[in-house]
Structure 1
């Protein structure tokens, strides 16, 4: 059976709780909106495959994450896209660390047809109408939160709850990739 999956970076529980508070506050002002109930995360990519294939891709995620090294991410400003997304964005230094992680993870999942994210951000709301986007940007003007980026998660979409849930976690171990050395038999 085909299932929808997402690969994402989860922040610390403190950041998850802080973002939930913001989402709940926005919901109290504009009612329900897209992603008001989703857990704070930075999306790397989404894909749909037959569930029998997921183990192969878990192995690829494990291998690539094994080579990544943990680093601090600082989220220091809000932004929005014309499609109605309102989000928290990382500072330039953090974005420059996140982008290669996102790109290498996406490359590791070839040949899957991926819905990719190239711009690291943590959504507060999606598909907001212009009026609600304006309300969000008036409610939230300053932010400065950080977390240790030390793993990525694989999430599966629950079609009943209409939310992703974590099915596996892949830690950053900082192991350099072993080089293949041409040896001699004699």
Structure 2
């Protein structure tokens, strides 16, 4: 059976709680909106495949995560994508430069799949907001300074009834940069 999956970076639990508070506050001003109930995350990619194939890709993500080393992520400003109505929290330049290779290498190991990729790391507050609601959000939220240790990637599956992703696996960073370069020999 085909299922939709998402690969993402979750911040720490205290950041998840803080983002939920922001989302709840925005709802009091504009009403319900897309991403309102979504757990705070930085999307790497989404794809749809037959669930019988997911184990193959879990192994690929596990192997690539073993090569990553944990690093701090600093989210220090708000931004928006006017064309998609997205309002988000963005990482500082150093954090963005650390996140992009993680995203790119993950895209590469999942290359055989038809990926909906995220190229620009950000943590969405709301999506598909009207121009008016984008303006309200940008007036409500002007400064932010939160951080977390990026030390794992999560694999999520879409619940078609709730229309929300839920975590089905977590891949910790192994700080083993040689793992993807080592190739054994029988002779």
* TM range, smaller chain: over 0.9
What corresponds to 2:6 in structure 1?
6
Q: Gapped runs of 5+ residues in structure 1?
A: none
Matched, 1:40 2:40: yes
- Please list the CA deviations of residues 19-68 of structure 1 after superposition, one character each: whole Å capped at 9, or x if unmatched: 00000000011000000000000000000000000000000000000000
For the residues of structure 1 that align with 2:185 and 2:12, how far apart are their CA atoms? 43
Match of 2:17 in 1: 17
Structure 1 outlier segments of 4+, above 4 Å: none
Q: Which residue of 1 aligns with 2:183?
A: 180
Could you tell me which residue of structure 2 aligns to residue 153 of structure 1?
Answer: 154
SS in 2 for 1:74: strand
Between the aligned partners of 1:27 and 1:161, the Cα distance in structure 2 is: 19
| Distance verdict in 2 for CA 1:181–1:158, change over 3 Å | closer
In structure 1, the residue matched to 2:118 is 117
Query: 2 CA distance for matches of 1:47 and 1:181?
Result: 32
SS in 1 for 2:139: helix
Output the CA distance in 1 between the equivalents of 2:150 and 2:185: 36
Aligned to 2:157, the other structure's residue is in SS state strand
CA–CA separation in structure 1 for the residues paired with 2:5 and 2:184: 36
What is the deviation of 1:179? 2.6
Kindly report the root-mean-square deviation, in angstroms, between the aligned alpha carbons of the 2 structures.
Answer: 1.0
Matched, 1:69 2:69: yes
1:181 Cα deviation after fit = 6.4
For residues 75 and 149 of structure 2, what CA distance do their matches in structure 1 show? Answer: 11
Task: After superposition, give the CA deviation of every residue in 1:106-160 in whole Å (9 maximum; x if it has no partner).
Answer: 1011200000000000000000000000000000000000000000000000010
Distance 1:59 1:20 in 2: 31
What is the 5 A alignment of 1:28-177?
28-82=28-82, 83-175=84-176, 176-177=178-179
Report the alpha carbon displacement of residue 182 of structure 1 after superposing the two structures with TM. Answer: 6.2
Per-residue deviation, 1:98 = 0.1
Aligned length: 184
TM-score, structure 2 as length reference: 0.96
